Amino acid sequence: MKDEAMIRLALECGAHAAAVLPAGQIVRNAEFREMCRSNRCGVYGRCYMCPPDVGEIEDLMHRLEDYDRGLLYQTVSPLEDSFDVEGMARAREEMTALSQRLLDVLPPLTGSHALHLSCGGCGLCRECGRVSGEACRHPDRALASLESYGIDVYNTARNTPLHYVNGPDTVTYFGMVLYGEKNNG
């Protein structure tokens, strides 16, 4: 019942699709930290919600074990073509906005025992306080990425009806809300 309500809220907030899976089906892989260290996104060490500041990947993967269920949700946004950098940035902003809406409406369902992860780089501030040496400006709203917690989104999505790729000239972003006491239904 709660799972269905979680999915419904995600869709009402603007998710393209959403599904709930048992936390045990969330695929994890510590090798994602190497991908972050390679800094292809240019944000490594420049955001409190990204490595290395977000924490050691083994510790964060361990934290996932505190939860019973995971709501996986996604946005699918159109691009002009695969070089549409502005379209990708816009799609990322849409995902950040969706995650923030869910942050407001899900607590009555999840209670306080929940962990919300979104796409990488937080994205709430034009430039993260990490760059200028300021404290995080929105510590209660800043969200880390699924990959920073070692979640293999591609293989996790395969355990749900959600597709990792959604057609040519689209970009897909994922978020996840973990909830429920472990071993407590």
Task: Please report, as ranges, the residues that interact with ligand SF4 according to CB under 6 A.
Answer: 47-49, 122, 124-125, 128-130, 136-138, 142
SS3 54: coil
* Cβ contact 166:76 at 8 Å: yes
Q: How far is the CB of 135 from ligand SF4 (least distance, A)?
A: 8
Task: Output 137 or 182, the one with its CB closest to ligand SF4.
Answer: 137
Task: Output 74 or 99, the one with its CB closest to ligand SF4.
Answer: 99
Specify the DSSP class assigned to residue 45: T
Q: How far is the CB of 148 from ligand SF4 (least distance, A)?
A: 12
CA distance 52 to 59: 12
Q: How far is the CB of 58 from ligand SF4 (least distance, A)?
A: 22
Q: How far is the CB of 110 from ligand SF4 (least distance, A)?
A: 21
Strands (E) across 13-147 are located at 17-22, 67-78, 114-118, 144-145
Paired with 19 in beta bridges are 72
Task: Output 48 or 179, the one with its CB closest to ligand SF4.
Answer: 48
